[in-house]
Structure formats: C-alpha cells, structure tokens
Amino acid sequence: MSDAEMRRLGTRARGTDGGIVVVGAGLAGLFTALKLAPLPVTVVSGAPFGEGGSSFWAQAGIAAAVGEGDSPEAHAADTVEAGAGIVEDSIAELMAREARMRVEELLEYGVPFDRDLEGKLALGQEAAHTSRRILHVKGDTAGKAIMQALIEAVRATPSITVMDGWNAGDLLLSDGRVAGIALHSADQNRPKRRILPARAVVLATGGAGQLYAVTTNPAQSKGEGVAVAARAGAVIADAEFVQFHPTALAIGADPAPLATEALRGEGAHLIDKSGKRFMRGVHPDAELAPRDIVARAVHRQVVSGAGAFLDLRPFGATLAKRFPTVHASCLAAGIDPAVEPVPVAPAAHYHMGGVLTDADGRTSVDGLWACGEVASTGAHGANRLASNSLLEAVVFGARVAEDVSATMQNYRGDAAPAFDYDEPAARDDTRRIRLLRQTMAAKAGVVRDEQSLREVLRVIAELERSHPDRPLKNMLTTAKLIAAAAFARHESRGAHFRSDYPEANPALARRSFFTLEEADSVARDAVGGEEARPGVVTALHA
C-alpha cells in the first residue's frame, strides 16, 4: 500500500506511524508490548487506557507450579485432564514449564501476590487442580492488581504508544500479507476511521462473552478479534467451546458479577432453595468438580425451579476481608452474604476457541499474531482449567513478542503514516444486538441441540440480511463460527454439551478448524434443514 494511496483516503494522523500494532490493552496485549521493548509499538484500546477488559475483572488468580511438592508436569497433566481429550499436550507442557518465569517477571513489575506468615507465596486451591497452585491478590483482586502494575510499566516505557478510543475494523492485506489495520473510533458521536499501516499486527482483543445475554465479560468482549481475523482468511479453532462460569450472581446485572471459584475452593457450598447441597449427588468432587459439570448442574437447578445458591455464611465476618470484590457485589445487590445464601446462575465466561495459532502465536495469515483469549493455542481444549487464562496470556504474550522481534529485525522498510477520515454516523443496532444475545444464551448456551442451533443460525442469517453496522457485523461473524462449529460436533465434550448427543464420541476427540467460508457453508445447510455435508468443512479433522 503506497503513501499516495493512503493520502487519498484522508488526512494524515500525526504520531501514529505503523510498524508493530497490538490491538487490545488487556493483560495479553500489555505484556506483549512490554516484552517487545525497545521496539516501537502502538497499542490500540477501545476503552480509555486502564479501563475495561476481562483481565482487569479477573477475580481468580494465576496458576503456576511454584509450591513444594508440585511440578510443571503435574500442572500440565491437570490441564490436559480438564481439557477433555483435545488439549495439545506439548502446548500444556510448555505453558506449565514457563509459568514460574512469568510469575517472577510479574513480581518484578510489582504485582503484590498474597504471601503467608513466613513471607512465601500463598497458594490457593481451585477446581480440578491436584495441588494448591493458584496465586491470588487479596483473595479476589488478582486481575486488577496485575493490570495496575502493567499499566504503570507501560506508562514508563517510551517505546509504547497507546491509542485509546479505537476499535478494530478489518485487516489490510497486500499480496496475502498483513499491511495494516483499519480502526474505527469508539465514540459514536464522532465517527471516524483510521488506516494504520503495520508490518506486524498482534490481536489481543479478549473474548466473546457479550455474544450472550448473561455474561461475566465487560462490554468490549464482543468477539471482535475473531471476526476480524476470520474475514482476513484466518483459521478459527475450537469455536464451539464456550466456558460458562457456574456461579455468576443472578441479580439481573449486565455484566453479571462473578463469585470466584476460589470461594468454593475455600469451603463455600452450592445449595438449593431448601438448603440441600446438590453437587454431592453429581460428582465425587462436589463443588470442586470441573467447571462444565458444575455449570450444567447449576443450570438444571435454575431451569427446574429448585434454585441454585452459593452459601457464603460459613465465612462470616471474614468474607469482606478475604473476598472484598464478591462481598461488595452482594451488598450492592441488597444481599447480606453473612446471613443469606446468594442466588447464582451460569454465565458466559471464557471462549476456549479463537484464532488458531502455533506455539509462537503465529496465525495462518502472514504478519498476524494472536495471544490471550482471542487466540486458540490448544492449551485449554474443551474446558479451560481454572486460573490458566492469565497464565496463558503472559506465557504466549512473551512468545509472541520474541517471534515478532525476530521478524522485525529483518525488516528495513520505512514506516508509513496513518490517515484519518470521517465516517457516516452508525445506525442503532441495539434491538438487533439484544436479539442475538438472547438467542445465543437460549439456544447455544450451556445446553444445545440440533434444533436450537439451527434456530441460532437462522436468526444470524436474518440479522445479516438487515445490513448491520460494524459492531453487530463482528458479533454475527463470531456467533456464526461458534454455532456452526457446535452444529457440526455431534457429541458432548467439555463445555460443549449437546442434549441430542449427550455422550463423548472417542472418534471425535480432536480439535475443530474452520474458515469463515466453511462456517458459512455449514450455516447455509443448517438453515436449509440439511445436515452438514461430509467434505464441506475441514472441521473436526485429525
């Protein structure tokens, strides 16, 4: 893309020359940018810098085998077990092995992980971990503390330029390679578009929880990065696997406040409205069963009318100090957790699927990398192990930075200038977005079946024909990838539960891979009332 072509698009934007662009200012994006120093990097953030992003909201901690008697091998084994047969063993081992190094770096950045009376790192227990290996900050503020430390580090790093108030549009390609990215202003009252040239683009845009009516994710988590990559031809992996956190506070808030799994690790119980513990009859580990099992059990309780409540009364007066975020959320909803159980329900929490990457974060599109929740590294499989998400963000953020640095060392071109131009005012898609979110929650949520997924794909097709504006267009693209992958997987595995195929099929113990073109084909066949034809997609191949 020549300078003359850029000039024809609009006015030059000062101080935003291309080179390396990281889209997303959560943990994965900021850690990547810091590890790229002293190379110049532009970090793009939709929300004001230091606000928004799932990382900032993370109540749980970061998993790392740093305690006595624990080992990276045991951590990797737990990760593989939780992933229900489709975790990439080598990726799980790599992530667990590099965990200690990344925790030490976070400590150097000033993250105040909890310590015991002897000054050693305090380690918590969470579901499906065979050892206490979760590092917390004040019980349930790890995400906030880690982000605050990295934000300060970014502000002190002169090689990093932050552009907040911009969302990702489409990738610009030249001869099949990334040449830049189009950005759109987040301020709907002053719509603008910015063309930002780049030799390397790193997607770190987070998850897709806002595709569902009930979610713990912030407003920015709309699956934007997956949609942008898919339209550029990137392969999307494991899209059907959406993790629902079993204990979101059922108080009608959007997003739904989260009651961290650490509460159950420290003795909180799930009860019905009569006070009976219902998880004892579901799984030997009761409340500490894998998340997908607990989420489905809570879902059944809610749907049946028996109710699901988290009993925090055993913590008594210590709850406010040990878990201040949860305590504050309860009080804000008019609930005193010291004297009454807290109503809970499953909520879309984490997308195990995303843009397919290798161990260095490279996608199938030349010049495009991805890390954090937007990526699918193969570390999570069908069901993410608790507190592995923050770990994955820093482990693969560092690996992306190393790979991008090596690539840029061989690049000797001059950075091209960025250009801005005005856009028409965006249309109001509020009602259409509400319809999509309600449909995804009801038909592609904790429990799915063939008919419900057909209905999701039909609604998506209708909304696509309504000429949606860019935010809804991105949401529809990612929702289609999730629903098409779920339609094509005729079994139940991990977080993907099909009531018409309730058992796991050993022959399908493999990851799924889709391009957008292939997802479109599945969607057309589904809406037409046909089964997905063999050979139409490369999904579910060995």
Catalytic residues: 291
- The tokens for 269 are 């119980």
- Give the separation between CA 508 and CA 501, rounded to whole angstroms: 12
- Give the separation between CA 322 and CA 516, rounded to whole angstroms: 45
Contact 213, 437 (CB under 8 A): yes
For residue 9, the tally of other CB atoms under 10 A from its CB is: 16
Token pair 């975020």 is at which residue?
325
Determine the Cα angle at 201 with ends 410 and 348, to 5°: 145
SS (H, E, C) 169-209: EEEEEECCEEEEEEEEECCCCCCEEEEEECCEEEECCCCCH
Any idea what DSSP says for residue 61? -
Contact 201, 178 (CB under 8 A): yes
Contact 357, 377 (CB under 8 A): yes
Dihedral sign for Cα 315, 317, 318, 323, please: positive
- Give the separation between CA 168 and CA 166, rounded to whole angstroms: 7
Contact 84, 493 (CB under 8 A): yes
